[in-house]
């Protein structure tokens, strides 16, 4: 099959540091090439892939502060994708609704994986304007704000499990990973660590838009306790070691998280996840098996004390069974075939959770 993969240009594929969507795109692209598909990746020029690379920006845009309009680059990217559209059997879009006007006018079918939140009113209106566009959700809960769209499947994100090494014993510290943002609630993670008296390592990026939040709300909390270590962004190799050496991973979110790749990465190393039960968390963490799903900070504090009752081997097995790159690619191959077979709302074609369960 001839497949075009359209990646975000904010980060390279795979990203050197933070970047969940780009990492998922990389794992899928390499797995599809390995399976014999003819794959063209539209991404930044510093991406590394075995697919044919079409560079739509010299480097990932986040690390280029002189770029102030990333959407302009994405529109140029999409213009090139759809100029080449006759070359492909399927276009797999990972840059969200920006591709919809192009896809509507193109004979080559496009499927869009929705990586972000869909509960904002303006987003619901936009998707409603393009009801024919075939979509894949990355969790069942993600699609709830717009249930009437042309959903073909839920395909859970996958990781390259070989990049994460199983640590059967773990360590004596907690981890908070990802980015500093009010919705991610690093303040809750700090509160939990201080309450249980266990060291917390915060490995997270700070976007310019969140700098004031960090300086006003988080940095004072870090400075006030010797238990808190902020180490900034980490590479995937550093992340592997950091997660594998942890006692538990804290995921105290305060928003409808569509997926939460770091939970999967943590469990792949054997480290259980203690998460606030919002968004996709119940679809990813097996409560009281690979972690604890909580409804309050006090529950999360108590769950830290219960971590020794969990099996780290069960965490690893859960990821290998449900969240590997191979399982993800199986789901998308089925989606591509549905697309080529002409799946549409009128025909009533609906598949559920192709990749897992």
Tens digit of each residue's pLDDT (9 = 90 or more) over 187-233: 999 999 999 999 999 999 898 889 999 999 999 999 999 999 999 98
Contact status, residue 229 vs residue 201, Cβ threshold 8 Å: yes
Phi then psi for residue 177, to 5 deg, are -135, 150
Q: Which of 21-30, 63-72, 197-206 has the lowest mean pLDDT?
A: 63-72
pTM for this predicted structure = 0.91
- Tell whether the model's pLDDT for residue 330 goes beyond 60: yes
Model confidence at 343, pLDDT cuts 50, 70, 90, reads low
Distances (CA, A) of 296 to 14, 142, 234: 35, 22, 28
Which domains are seen in the chain, by residue range? 2-158+324-347 (3.40.50.2000), 162-321 (3.40.50.2000)
- Tell whether the model's pLDDT for residue 342 goes beyond 60: yes
Task: Say what the pLDDT of residue 357 is.
Answer: 38
**Closest to 74 measured CA to CA, from 45, 46, 98:** 98
What is d(CA 219, CA 230) in angstroms, rounded to the nearest whole number? 9
Task: Say what the pLDDT of residue 186 is.
Answer: 96
- Helix/strand/coil for 154: strand
Distances (CA, A) of 232 to 14, 158, 320: 19, 24, 28
Model confidence at 307, pLDDT cuts 50, 70, 90, reads very high
What is d(CA 220, CA 223) in angstroms, rounded to the nearest whole number? 5
Task: Say what the pLDDT of residue 284 is.
Answer: 97
Tens digit of each residue's pLDDT (9 = 90 or more) over 124-138: 999 999 999 999 999
- Tell whether the model's pLDDT for residue 338 goes beyond 50: yes
Helix runs in the chain, H state only: 20-34, 70-83, 100-104, 121-129, 186-196, 211-213, 219-223, 236-244, 261-268, 281-284, 297-306, 312-322, 325-340
Task: Say what the pLDDT of residue 16 is.
Answer: 84
What is d(CA 13, CA 30) in angstroms, rounded to the nearest whole number? 11
Per-residue three-class SS string for 176-227: EEEECCCCCCHHHHHHHHHHHCCCEEEEEECCHHHHHHHHHHHHHHHHCCCC
- State what percent of residues in the chain have pLDDT above 70: 96
Mean pLDDT of the chain: 93
- Tell whether the model's pLDDT for residue 56 goes beyond 80: yes
What is d(CA 102, CA 110) in angstroms, rounded to the nearest whole number? 9
Name the residue with higher pLDDT: 146 or 355: 146
Distances (CA, A) of 29 to 51, 187, 250, 262: 7, 36, 30, 20
């Amino acid at each position: 099959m001839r497949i075009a993969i359209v990646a975000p240009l904010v980060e390279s594929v795979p990203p050197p540091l933070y970047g969940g969507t780009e990492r998922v795109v990389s794992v899928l692209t390499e797995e599809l090439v390995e399976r014999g598909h003819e794959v063209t990746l539209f991404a930044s020029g510093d991406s590394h892939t075995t697919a044919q690379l079409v560079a739509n920006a010299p480097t990932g845009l986040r690390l280029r502060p002189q770029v102030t309009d990333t959407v302009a680059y994405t529109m140029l990217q999409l213009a090139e994708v759809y100029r080449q559209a006759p070359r492909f059997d399927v276009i797999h879009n990972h840059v969200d609704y920006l591709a919809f006007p192009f896809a509507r006018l193109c004979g080559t079918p496009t499927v869009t994986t929705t990586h972000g939140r869909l509960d904002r009113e303006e987003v619901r209106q936009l998707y409603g304007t393009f009801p024919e566009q075939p979509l894949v959700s990355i969790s069942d809960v993600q699609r709830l704000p717009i249930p009437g769209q042309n959903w073909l499947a839920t395909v859970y994100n996958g990781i390259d499990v070989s990049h994460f090494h199983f640590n059967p014993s773990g360590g004596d510290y907690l981890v908070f990973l990802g980015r500093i943002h009010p919705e991610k609630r690093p303040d809750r993670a700090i509160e939990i660590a201080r309450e249980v008296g266990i060291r917390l390592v915060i490995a997270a990026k700070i976007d310019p838009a969140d700098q004031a939040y960090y300086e006003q709300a988080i940095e004072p909390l870090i400075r006030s306790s010797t238990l808190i270590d902020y180490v900034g962004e980490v590479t995937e190799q550093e992340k592997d070691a950091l997660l594998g050496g942890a006692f538990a991973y804290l995921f105290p979110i305060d928003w409808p998280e569509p997926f939460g790749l770091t939970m999967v990465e943590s469990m792949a190393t054997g480290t259980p996840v203690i998460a606030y039960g919002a968004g996709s968390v119940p679809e990813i963490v097996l409560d009281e098996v690979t972690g604890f799903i909580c409804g309050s900070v006090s529950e999360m504090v108590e769950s830290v004390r219960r971590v020794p009752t969990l099996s780290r081997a069960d965490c690893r097995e859960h990821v290998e069974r449900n969240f590997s790159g191979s399982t993800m690619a199986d789901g998308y191959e089925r989606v591509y075939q549905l697309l080529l077979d002409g799946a549409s709302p009128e025909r009533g074609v609906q598949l559920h959770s192709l990749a897992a369960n």
